[in-house]
Amino acid sequence: MAFQLLMICSLLGLGSAWNQPSTCYVRQSSCSGDSEVKEDTRRIRETLESSLTSISASLEQLVKQKCEAVNTNPPTEPAATTDSPTEPAATTDPPTEPAVTTDPPTEPAATTDPPTEPAVTTDPPTEPAANTEIPPPIGTFDDPASSCSDISSQGRPSGEYWIATDRTSSPAQVYCDMNRTSCSCNTTGGWMRVANLDMTNPYQNCPAGFGQVNRDQPPLRTCGRGERGCTSTTYSTYGVEYSKVCGRIIAYQSGTPDAFHPYFRDRARSIDDGYVDGVSLTHGQSPRQHIWTFANAVDETRSTYYVCPCTRPDLPYTGIVPPFIGQDYFCETGSREAVSFIFYRDDPVWDGQGCGSNSTCCEFNNPPWFCKQLPLPTTDDIELRLCFDHNFSNENTPIELVEIYVR
């Protein structure tokens, strides 16, 4: 700015006359002491001083404007500083490094796997939960079960329990066998006992319709038939559905029973008739459905239709096994010699023991226990009939034990 002011002064021809105006113009004058010349010189000086004053004021105004302009220009420098935001923009690249640091979050994500271990630790609660889901024991009078199989599914032991079905007006107490290994039905637990006659127990009596047959030395109590034909008793299943029947019957031969001779003599006989000398076990009515047959033969000395098909396998059997029973039967005799009208107490029948050397009856169907898989499930009661085609004095097979289970 000072250089610009000097240039203005030079253009005006002032030089250093700023400080010594009079001297400048006096020296340029060639006049000496003339009043007219002095007057002109004074006017010129006054004019110059006035011009200088005006110029000075203008310069001051110009300098002031320049200073104000300079003061107002600093925003342009911040505008230059806005370039530094581009550096922050460059600093946005480091955020890409934090973006790299986001990979560790993937490790925390990996650390979320341990929560799966706590989730595993939640499995023990599932065991208590499983315990809480186990229903309370059933089979009581207040909470009867529907079958022994249901009680067996709870892991309960053998014993007496209460059951109730649509056929029972009130709970019935039954014995449930959870370890019945003697039956060959490939099933152990959940059997309901429907028949339990044991005449060795002095407190038990024969079923209605059966006559008690006693023998002395030693005492022997059995249940024999009435008159000619069949004597029957029924064992309730309480409406429990079953498809398997398992059991045994032990009896004694008296006189001359002759196995399947009744059917051989009258082949028009059906399962509803007396087709055997012995026991017929059935369920249902009209017609009865066969479960098992227990035939009592006369002796082991012959091969006629009076004996069992298994008595003499070395000789042809001349009798006929009723086709409606198939192979579901036991057949045995208590007499090793020629028959007589006596009570054979030394060799019970259908126990799988005491057969003669030529007989296979103690092996056929593996007595004493039978097991029958029924074609269809049923809720029928089970009927036991003791049948003969001759009178009481001629033949009888009094029963000592009956044990029947269903499942």
Residue 87 in domain? no
pLDDT of the residue at 28: 42
Structural domain count of the chain: 3
Q: What share of the chain is helix, strand, coil (3-state, %, to 5)?
A: 30, 25, 45
Q: How far apart are CA 262 and CA 260, in angstroms?
A: 6
Q: Report, as an integer, the average pLDDT of 186-199.
A: 92
Q: Do 211 and 255 have their domain in common?
A: yes
Q: How far apart are CA 233 and CA 195, in angstroms?
A: 10
**Amino acid, single-letter form, for residue 245:** V
Of the pLDDT bands very low, low, confident and very high (cuts 50, 70, 90), residue 85 is: very low
Residue 50 in domain? no
Q: Do 168 and 203 have their domain in common?
A: no
Residue 47 in domain? no
Q: How far apart are CA 348 and CA 108, in angstroms?
A: 82
Residue 26 in domain? no
Q: Do 335 and 224 have their domain in common?
A: yes
Each residue's pLDDT tens digit, 261-314: 999 999 999 999 999 999 999 999 989 999 999 999 999 887 788 999 999 888
Q: Are 342 and 330 in contact (CB under 8 A)?
A: no
- In this predicted structure, the answer to whether residue 174 has a pLDDT above a threshold of 70 is yes
Greater confidence (88 vs 160) lies with 160
pLDDT of the residue at 181: 84
Residue 278 in domain? yes
pLDDT of the residue at 90: 40
**End-to-end Cα spacing for the chain:** 125
Q: Do 362 and 228 have their domain in common?
A: yes
pLDDT of the residue at 314: 83
pLDDT of the residue at 271: 96
Each residue's pLDDT tens digit, 20-79: 444 333 344 444 445 665 776 677 777 767 767 777 777 677 757 765 655 555 544 444
Domain hosting residue 145, numbered range: 136-179
Q: Do 146 and 252 have their domain in common?
A: no
Where does a domain end: 151, 179, 207?
A: 179
Where does a domain end: 125, 152, 179?
A: 179
Highest mean pLDDT among 103-112, 188-197, 217-226: 188-197
Residue 173 in domain? yes
- What angle do the packed helices 35-72 and 2-12 form, to 10 degrees? 150
pLDDT of the residue at 325: 98
Q: Do 379 and 302 have their domain in common?
A: yes
- In this predicted structure, the answer to whether residue 223 has a pLDDT above a threshold of 50 is yes
Residue 394 in domain? yes
Share of the chain above pLDDT 90, in %: 52
Q: Are 231 and 383 in contact (CB under 8 A)?
A: no
Q: Do 159 and 287 have their domain in common?
A: no
Q: Report, as an integer, the average pLDDT of 214-231.
A: 87
Angle at 68 between CA 63 and CA 72, to 5 degrees: 145
pLDDT of the residue at 78: 43
Radius of gyration over every alpha carbon of the chain, rounded to an integer in angstroms:
65
State the chain's mean pLDDT as an integer. 79
Residue 187 in domain? no
Greater confidence (234 vs 89) lies with 234
pLDDT of the residue at 295: 98
Q: Do 259 and 174 have their domain in common?
A: no
Q: Do 260 and 312 have their domain in common?
A: yes
Tokens standing for 36? 């007219």
DSSP letter assigned to residue 156? P
| Cβ partners under 8 Å of residue 352, min gap 6 | 362, 366, 367, 368
Tokens standing for 354? 């005491």
pLDDT of the residue at 386: 97
Neighbours of 8 (CB within 10 A): 13
Share of the chain above pLDDT 70, in %: 71
Each residue's pLDDT tens digit, 372-392: 999 999 999 999 999 999 988
Each residue's pLDDT tens digit, 350-366: 999 999 888 999 999 99
CATH number of the CATH domain containing 171: 3.30.750.130
Q: Do 173 and 198 have their domain in common?
A: no
Q: Are 309 and 347 in contact (CB under 8 A)?
A: no
Look at residue 98 and give its three-state secondary structure: helix
- In this predicted structure, the answer to whether residue 106 has a pLDDT above a threshold of 50 is no
pLDDT of the residue at 84: 41
Q: Report, as an integer, the average pLDDT of 206-213.
A: 93
Q: Do 331 and 362 have their domain in common?
A: yes
Q: Do 151 and 211 have their domain in common?
A: no
pLDDT of the residue at 67: 59
Q: Report, as an integer, the average pLDDT of 90-98.
A: 43
- Min mean pLDDT across 99-103, 194-198, 364-368 is at 99-103
36: enclosing H helix or E strand: helix 35-72
